[in-house]
Amino acid sequence: MSDITLHLGQTLWFSGDPTIAGPNVAHHDSHGGIVIRDGYVLARGTAHDLRREYPQALVEDHGQALILPGFIDAHVHYPQTAMIASWGKRLIDWLNTYTFPEEMQFGDAGYATEIAGRYLDLALSHGTTTMCSYCTIHPQSVDAYFMAADARGMRVLGGKTCMDRNAPDGLLDTAQLAYEDSKALLNRWHGKGRASYVITPRFSPTSTPEQLSALGALWAEHPDCLMQTHLSEQTDEIAWVRGLFPEARDYLDTYETHGLLGANGLYGHAIHLEPRERDRLREVGAALVHCPTSNTFIGSGLFDMAGLVAEGQRVGLATDTGGGSSFSMLRTMAAAYEVAQLRGVALHPSALLWLATEGSARSLQIADRVGTLAPGSEADFITLDLRSTPAIAQRSTRAADIWEAVFPTIMMGDDRAVSGAWVMGEKRA
């Protein structure tokens, strides 16, 4: 007979999208639990009911800790782990000064393996169990990432970052090579275990129209794959795109005309969008990825969360490490709250938690497997200590409800708040 484990604690789950429907679609049990069998969620309910229904289960009681789905980071650059928090530059200078020299080192498979392992261990200790990462131009950086994730049993997504202009020589491929390398890596990794391959043109300034077309053709051959890129992050970048693609109607058009716009497309940042771009993104059902710590750190701008959600856009949440200044999705939620405040909107804690879990899972088209802890889904979950530091503990003592209890951890928490992280039911951090 297979082992059954009952994890008890506070639980919180959503029967709808609180960014649209508000906090009433959230369900909180102060004495709740989840039952895990063979790496999957078998049941969710009150501690009382689950103890009665599964008397044979091994019980792990997490006390007052909050059991949540593992966080899902919808846009990250694992190769930028070692250069996070690099000082003083805006996007294009930041790429040339810090990012490209660091990414050059991933031609060395040993270095790629070291950083992939370091990154995934940091992610797990911060409660992130799934992420969608850019790798580098080097196929070995993709192999290192998927192998490191496989060793930890993690569901991860990612792909080779393609560039054939406006980057140093050691970081360039060609249209043909981008297509061939990406295709070979896709065939090697997509659907292998818990890996998903993501077609990854870095952004229009570093790809020729020929390369964008080649990757558009690859996507057309594999429409079930996701495609990720950057869109309208900084105004200087947008002006550069306009110069490089004089015929394009706008930045999004540089992707659209090359077959790189679709419902399985992930567009990172998406801050300075034109009305036509917003219309097209919504029409096709693309996902926009909000990267708030990056957008403040690199000085990019204020993502219009409320306006974009209200018009029906799909939105995920992400660290964008190492443009983002943290590995923590708690810190990322705090930054999303602060950015929304600067636009006159107070995001409810239910919306922030949903974005970091089910919302990001939906943007990655994997919410049927992770991000919800619904029965049948994969048992990737965390426990959050809502009193992890003296400052947080003294504030949450006053809490009148779960939202007041969790909001200090969202705003002030970090990896110290993550008391455990489980992947397919196995404790990994």
Give min distance, CB of 427 to ligand GUN, in A: 32
DSSP class of 356: I
Of 203, 303, 354, 407, the residue at the interface with ligand GUN (CB under 6 A) is 203
**Does the footprint of ligand GUN cover residue 251 (CB under 6 A)?**
no
Q: Is 247 exposed, middle or buried (0-12, 13-18, 19+ CB in 10 A)?
A: exposed
- Judged by CB under 5 A, the residue of 29, 253, 320, 415 near Zn ion is 320
The DSSP line for 239-273 is HHHHHH-TT-SSHHHHHHTTT--STTEEEEE--S-
> Rg of the chain's alpha carbons, rounded to an integer?
21
Task: Choose between 95 and 225: whose C-beta lies nearer to ligand GUN.
Answer: 95
Shortest Cβ 77–ligand GUN spacing (Å): 5
Amino acid at the residue 163:
M
The single residue listed with the structure tokens 């996070």 is: 84
Query: Which residue of 7, 44, 77, 280 would you call a contact of ligand GUN, by CB under 6 A?
Result: 77
- Per-residue x/- mask for ligand GUN, residues 257 to 296, rule CB under 6 A? -------------------------------------x--
- Is there a contact between 387 and 364 (Cβ–Cβ < 8 Å)? no
Residues with Cβ within 8 Å of residue 334, at least 6 apart in sequence: 410, 411, 412
CA neighbor of 370 nearest in space, from 382, 358, 354: 358
Please select the residue that binds ligand GUN; options are 320, 358, 380, 415, rule is CB under 6 A.
320
99 binds, among Zn ion, ligand GUN, none (CB under 5 to 8 A by kind): ligand GUN
Site for ligand GUN in 204-233 (CB under 6 A): 230, 233
From the list 159, 323, 371, 413, which residue makes contact with ligand GUN (rule: CB under 6 A)?
323
**Cα 232 to Cα 412: distance, rounded to the nearest angstrom:** 30
Interface contacts to Zn ion, rule CB under 5 A: 268, 320
Interface contacts to ligand GUN, rule CB under 6 A: 77, 91, 95, 99, 202-203, 230, 233, 294, 298, 320, 323
